[in-house]
Amino acid sequence: MLKALSFFLTVASFAHAAVNGACSVNGTPGVCLSTSTCSSGGGTYASGFCPNDPADIKCCYKTSCSTGGNCRWTSQCSSGNTLSGLCPGPSDFKCCLPASSCSPKTVNTATINLIKKYEGFVASPAPDPVGLPTVGYGHLCQTSGCSEVPYSFPLTTTTASALLNSDLKTYEKCITNDIKSSIRLNDNQYGALVSWAFNEGCGAAGTSTLISRLNNGEDPNTVASQELPKWVYAGGQVLQGLVNRRNAEVALFKTASSVIAHPPC
């Protein structure tokens, strides 16, 4: 009886191996996911590489993300240059980019002021207009109580500014990597796009028509004027705050400047 029970438990454990486990399709790194999760994240799946999982769990892989990147586990990304939000699966399955010889530009003061104005200052974690927990100037909490924030609550405007500057590095990086190096943007154009990506997320920005049109060589001011105002929905509703922010980003984008921010070098 005990042997039979032991055999049953062993079979059950193999039949339900953990989802989000590593797999490989002919040498391409992947993650065991449901087919629906894989497809919604832009991945491709293959059968037979997650043999101990349920039938709808398959090896999901994505061979193209951002500019010149591919999805792989962070431990397998030799360049150490990764972007979040572009690959299906767990947080450590990211877009691995080629090594870069120069760093993305830091946004200018006009961009910081715009972001602060429309994010508003929140000293302690609280829901934003669509119910997501945020703190400081638009920091989206990643853990319960925003425990990842290295400053004590309530934040001061000084610590909130430091947190914002740290957060913006992710969005400066994804805008820099998503836009071809042949496309020249001044610091106001670049800053407006970083503000937009900070608000909407790197994943949404990277797959947008806006970025595609810029990379196709269309006039940047025309593209921004036509595309940014489309990003005014939250929960299926137009939010006046987003309308105002997009208008401000368009205005910043169209403000002339001789300072080139993209490509960064």
Cα→Cα distances 205→48, 125, 197, Å: 34, 26, 6
Q: Write the DSSP symbol of residue 95.
A: E
Rounded (10°) angle between helices 187-200 and 157-178: 100
Pair of tokens at residue 6: 């032991």
Is residue 134 a contact partner of residue 149, using CB atoms and an 8 Å limit? no
Among residues 192, 176, 178, 171, the alpha carbon closest in space to that of 263 is found at 176
Q: Write the DSSP symbol of residue 37.
A: H
Query: Rounded to an integer, what is the distance from CA 221 to the centroid of its chain?
Result: 24
Pair of tokens at residue 114: 């715009």
Measured in degrees and rounded to the nearest 5, phi and psi for residue 145 equal 70, 15
For the chain, give the longest Cα–Cα distance: 80
Does residue 119 carry a catalytic annotation?
Answer: yes
> SS3 of 147, please?
coil
Catalytic residues: 119
